[in-house]
Chains A and B, each alone.
Chain A
Amino acid sequence: EAGVAQSPRYKIIEKRQSVAFWCNPISGHATLYWYQQILGQGPKLLIQFQNNGVVDDSQLPKDRFSAERLKGVDSTLKIQPAKLEDSAVYLCASSLQGVGVSPLHFGNGTRLTVT
């Protein structure tokens, strides 16, 4: 079974620039998550999709972050404009069903450095 695919692996940008990350979940997984992991901390949920609908985006800084999951498969997360504090690893995860039923499977993440 192919895992969760993410790209790019690394990205370095200057503050105020924009950046986009891409995620392809495990085939058949209806639920897709974007997490932000700052060095030394646990992952923090940014947004959760069920198929192509948003389930939870309460912790997404909507003034600069946006995400979409067109057609209920691939997803993109965008930051515009980036700030220094956005430097983190952005993890995409998917699950067959929700957290009470099936575990999340994570991609390798995108390490973002904002200078």
Chain B
Amino acid sequence: EDKVVQSPLSLVVHEGDTVTLNCSYEVTNFRSLLWYKQEKKAPTFLFMLTSSGIEKKSGRLSSILDKKELFSILNITATQTGDSAVYLCAVGRGSTLGRLYFGRGTQLTVWP
């Protein structure tokens, strides 16, 4: 059975801390791994990873994929209160039109 597991499920930090969110997967015919940020509405796209070992970076956020060990991490440095959200990991399988499997998400709370 295909599955995507995120850890931790919740995390509370103070502004300025660095956090690492984890996503492991067991999906046949892996195609891609995506990270989304969800506040009180629509998930917004952060990164799409298809190749191992290549870090993607956007400001204070970065992510990397390990296709051998079947996991990805999302790093956020110098956290701010605006980073408080649920971070969702999703894995695409099969053909380019294959299904996207989501994990349950990590609830990140950043205190001032």
Contact = CB atoms under 8 A, between A and B. Distances in A.
Q: Are A and B a genuine interacting pair, yes or no? A: yes
Interface string A85-106: 0000001000001111111111
B45 A104 contact: yes
Nearest to A41: B104
B42 A91 contact: yes
Contacts of B32: 99-100
B12 to A, nearest CB: 17
Interface string A26-70: 000001010000001111110010100001100000000000000
Contacts, number: 68
- Chain A: number of interface residues, binned into ranges: 20 to 34
B98 interface: yes
Contacts of A55: 97
A24 B99 CA distance: 20
A25 interface: no
Interface stretch (B13-21, B72-80, B87-95): B87-95
Interface in B30-69: 31-32, 34, 36, 41-45, 48, 50
Given A100-B50, A100-B95, A106 B42 contact: yes
Nearest to B6: A42
A69 B42 CA distance: 21
A99 B99 contact: yes
A38 to B, nearest CB: 10
A97 B96 contact: yes
B99 A42 contact: no
B96 A45 contact: no
B22 to A, nearest CB: 15
Nearest to A31: B97
Interface string A71-115: 000000000000000000001000001111111111111000000
Interface of B: 4, 31-32, 34, 36, 41-45, 48, 50, 88, 90, 92-93, 95-100, 102-105
Interface of A: 3-4, 31, 33, 40-45, 48, 50, 55-56, 91, 97-109
